[in-house]
């Protein structure tokens, strides 16, 4: 069902875990739908993503797309990271089953949410909820981690 | 690498003795059971022998009460569509439960579109329906009650005998989808007041693609497939002779040793259940603690998702199953777990391990060794886990 590349990223996820000193953190998805992705970015003064990490609750594709997304943006500029598309993630994984394409969308959104959070902190904006809408009609139930890591 | 099969509710391994019994009918004895000549009559005899084995296994009063079908799904479809069609003059109301297999549920939905009314009885936290619920739901226009014997996901065993009693008292036909129960727990259709019963060979170490339907004498279930006069005009199509022989042999083997095997499986099941509950924090047993199929273990493991658990177990050689949305092929997790009141996020983290009569203690120990590590690894990855 999954390509070797997907299974490789699932069984040996890259950049898994929180990043110390992260200055952009975004979380998308919803436990009710079965996937949540959290992305941690450490962006330096030149606007380069020095370090990146992820945490994911979800299926094999959710884990693999998060892992691949971190690889694709590590060491890149913010603009480059903002240009990351879900299809680039799918391509890098050598394909995903059609039913799992939404996971790659989530990975793209997780990166964007983390960057948005980085700018929000910089500008002192209120941090908005960036949870993706999965099409289900329900409330957001998960904790919003952004607030927590702000203190760190 | 070690390979451990813990998905016996999906299907079971074909027994060597069963294959041996089938083999002649895949080779030398290839006649059509409907043919008059000796080639045909040999095959015919084998089919009738299997019919007797099935009748005996569930204590049917007469071999003629057994109809061979192509699978458990066909048996379920045949009962629901057939009874609905044949008895629609009496009424158009059918009662079933919210936790049935899709072979029953989707057929009921089809009947609703055809103008029938279906009551889906809710279940309690264990996935159980009571006889009182059935009794209250029966109306003058009710023509059929269909409640499964043992649940394929959570293993809960329904109070079949009492439900049958209620139906008998009220003069309503009672069907039970016993696909998961046959060969694993004692079934006596006469004692349990069962009018119609579905079974499938591949769930008790028989071949895939063959099932049977028990229809109590006097009840008319019209044919789903029309054509030849096979199965006394109840199921047209040249018989799957080898499959039917395999079904007969498998049910005979399973039912002759049912006490010993189910005691052994129950022991291993309980070891697995206590082992998991004892070694992994924040898990929830799904299904009834004691009224459950001897081979079924089902847990929700908080903070992680079912498909990931399955993949990680598979990497370690363990075959299991889950009720998460990702594995059910839809947006929603298992309808059974949701009907039992589990929140979506807990249902997504369900893990089903189902034992067969060939499961060993060593295999159970291996699962108990691997599973906690898999869970820990996935929890470390989960943004929901704070442990
Ligand atoms: C309770 C139940 N009913 C019906 C079926 C369908 O049986 P079959 O695979 O023979 O069509 C299954 C098998 O998954 C089952 O578990």
**How do residues B45-103 score in pLDDT, each as one tens digit?**
999 999 999 999 999 999 999 999 999 999 999 999 999 999 999 999 999 999 999 99
Going by C-beta distance under 8 Å and a sequence separation of 6 or more, which residues neighbour residue B148? B97, B99, B100, B101, B104, B158, B176, B177, B178, B179, B180
Ligand 1 centre to CA of B201 (Å) is: 10
In this model, does residue A31 exceed pLDDT 90?
no
Residue B225 lies in a domain: yes
Ligand 1, residue B209: give the atom nearest the CA: 10
B186 burial level (CB within 10 Å; 0-12, 13-18, 19+): middle
ipTM of the complex: 0.89
Are A114 and A25 within 8 A, CB to CB? yes
Q: How many domains does chain B have?
A: 2
3-state secondary structure of B211: strand
What's the rounded mean pLDDT across residues B353-362?
96
Whether B157 is in the pocket of ligand 1, judged by its Cβ within 6 Å, is: no
CA distance B214 to B5: 30
The overall average pLDDT reported for chain A is: 86
Whether B255 is in the pocket of ligand 1, judged by its Cβ within 6 Å, is: no
Whether B211 is in the pocket of ligand 1, judged by its Cβ within 6 Å, is: yes
In this model, does residue B376 exceed pLDDT 60?
yes
At B366, is the pLDDT very low, low, confident or very high (cuts 50, 70, 90)?
Answer: very high
Asked if B218 and B353 sit in the same domain, the reply is no
Asked if B210 and B271 sit in the same domain, the reply is no
Chain B partners of A102 at a C-beta cutoff of 8 Å? Answer: none
A136 versus B119: the higher-pLDDT residue is: B119
Asked if B134 and B276 sit in the same domain, the reply is no
The string of pLDDT tens digits covering residues B332-353 is 899 999 999 999 999 999 999 9
The string of pLDDT tens digits covering residues B142-176 is 999 999 999 999 999 999 999 999 999 999 999 99
Asked if B162 and B28 sit in the same domain, the reply is yes
Which domains does chain A carry?
4-141 (3.90.1010.10)
Chain A partners of B382 at a C-beta cutoff of 8 Å? Answer: 55-57
CATH code: domain of residue B375: 3.90.1150.10
Are B322 and B309 within 8 A, CB to CB? yes
The packing angle between helices B72-86 and B102-113, to 10°, is 30
The string of pLDDT tens digits covering residues B27-47 is 999 999 999 999 999 999 999
Q: Worst-scoring range by mean pLDDT, A20-24, A147-151, B197-201?
A: A147-151
Asked if B123 and B267 sit in the same domain, the reply is no
Q: Does A21 touch chain B (CB under 8 A)?
A: no
Range of the structural domain that residue B77 is part of: 16-256
Residue B331 lies in a domain: yes
Q: What does the pLDDT read at residue A32?
A: 84
The residue nearest atom 15 of ligand 1, judged by CA position, is B179
Whether B101 is in the pocket of ligand 1, judged by its Cβ within 6 Å, is: yes
What's the rounded mean pLDDT across residues B221-232?
97
**pLDDT > 90: what percent of chain B?**
96
At CA B12, angle to CA B274 and CA A11, rounded to 5?
Answer: 65
Asked if B41 and B170 sit in the same domain, the reply is yes
Asked if B265 and B346 sit in the same domain, the reply is yes
At CA B124, angle to CA B120 and CA B128, rounded to 5?
Answer: 75
Q: What does the pLDDT read at residue A139?
A: 43
Q: What does the pLDDT read at residue B323?
A: 86
What's the rounded mean pLDDT across residues A30-58?
95
Asked if B263 and B123 sit in the same domain, the reply is no
Task: Determine the distance from the C-alpha atom of residue B318 to the mean position of all C-alpha atoms in its chain, rounded to a whole number.
Answer: 22
Residue B6 lies in a domain: no
The verdict on a CB contact (< 8 Å) between A141 and B311 is no
CATH code: domain of residue B151: 3.40.640.10
pTM for this entry = 0.93
Last residue of a domain, one of B229, B256, B283: B256
Asked if B240 and B283 sit in the same domain, the reply is no
Ligand 1 centre to CA of B79 (Å) is: 14
Are B195 and B243 within 8 A, CB to CB? no
Chain A partners of B348 at a C-beta cutoff of 8 Å? Answer: 31, 34
The string of pLDDT tens digits covering residues B306-323 is 999 999 999 999 999 998
Ligand 1 centre to CA of B101 (Å) is: 7
Widest CA span of chain B, in angstroms? 74
Asked if B79 and B142 sit in the same domain, the reply is yes
């Amino acid at each position: 069902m999954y390509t070797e590349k997907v299974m490789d990223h699932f069984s040996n996820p890259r950049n898994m875990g929180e990043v110390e000193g992260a200055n952009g953190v975004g979380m998308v998805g919803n436990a009710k739908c079965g996937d949540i992705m959290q992305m941690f970015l450490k962006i330096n003064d030149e606007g380069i993503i020095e370090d990146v990490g992820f945490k994911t609750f979800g299926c094999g594709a959710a884990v693999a797309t998060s892992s691949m997304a971190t690889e694709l943006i590590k060491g890149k500029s913010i603009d480059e990271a903002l240009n990351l598309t879900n299809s680039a993630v799918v391509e890098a994984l050598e394909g995903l089953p059609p039913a799992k394409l939404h996971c790659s969308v989530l990975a793209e959104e997780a990166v964007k949410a983390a960057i948005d959070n980085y700018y929000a902190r910089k500008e002192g904006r209120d941090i908005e909820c960036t949870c993706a809408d999965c099409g289900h009609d329900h409330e957001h139930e998960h904790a919003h981690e952004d607030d927590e890591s702000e203190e760190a | 690498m070690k390979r451990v099969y813990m998905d016996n509710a999906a299907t079971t391994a074909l027994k060597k003795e069963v294959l041996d019994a089938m083999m002649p009918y895949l080779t030398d004895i290839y006649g059509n059971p409907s043919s008059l000549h000796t080639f045909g009559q040999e095959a015919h005899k084998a089919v009738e022998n299997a019919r007797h084995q099935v009748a005996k296994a569930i204590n049917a009063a007469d071999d003629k009460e057994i109809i061979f079908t192509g699978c458990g799904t066909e048996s379920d479809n045949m009962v629901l569509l057939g009874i609905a069609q044949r008895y629609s003059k009496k009424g158009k109301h059918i009662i079933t439960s919210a936790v049935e297999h899709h072979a029953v549920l989707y057929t009921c939905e089809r009947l609703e579109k055809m103008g029938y009314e279906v009551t889906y009885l809710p279940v309690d936290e264990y996935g159980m329906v009571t006889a009182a619920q059935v009794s209250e739901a029966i109306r003058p226009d009710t023509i059929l009650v269909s409640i499964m014997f043992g649940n394929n996901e959570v293993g809960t065993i329904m109070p079949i005998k009492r439900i049958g009693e209620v139906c008998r008292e009220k003069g309503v036909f009672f069907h039970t989808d016993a696909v998961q129960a046959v060969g694993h727990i004692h079934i006596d259709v006469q004692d349990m007041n069962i009018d119609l019963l579905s079974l499938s060979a591949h769930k008790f170490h028989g071949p895939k693609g063959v099932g049977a339907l028990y229809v109590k004498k006097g009840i008319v279930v019209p044919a789903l497939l029309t054509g030849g006069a096979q199965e006394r005009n109840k199921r047209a199509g040249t018989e799957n002779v080898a499959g039917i022989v395999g079904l007969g042999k498998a049910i005979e083997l399973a039912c002759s040793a049912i006490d010993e095997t189910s005691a052994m499986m129950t022991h291993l099941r309980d070891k697995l259940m206590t082992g998991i509950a004892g070694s992994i924090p924040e898990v929830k047993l799904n299904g009834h603690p004691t009224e459950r199929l001897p081979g079924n273990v089902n847990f929700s493991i908080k903070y992680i998702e079912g498909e990931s658990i399955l993949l990680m177990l598979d990497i370690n050689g363990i075959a299991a199953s889950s009720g998460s949305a990702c594995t059910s092929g839809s947006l929603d997790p298992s309808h059974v777990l949701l009907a039992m009141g589990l929140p979506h996020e807990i249902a997504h983290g369900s893990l089903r391990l189902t034992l067969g009569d060939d499961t060993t203690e060593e295999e159970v120990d291996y699962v108990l060794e691997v599973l906690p590590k898999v869970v820990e690894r996935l929890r470390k990855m989960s943004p929901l886990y704070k442990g």
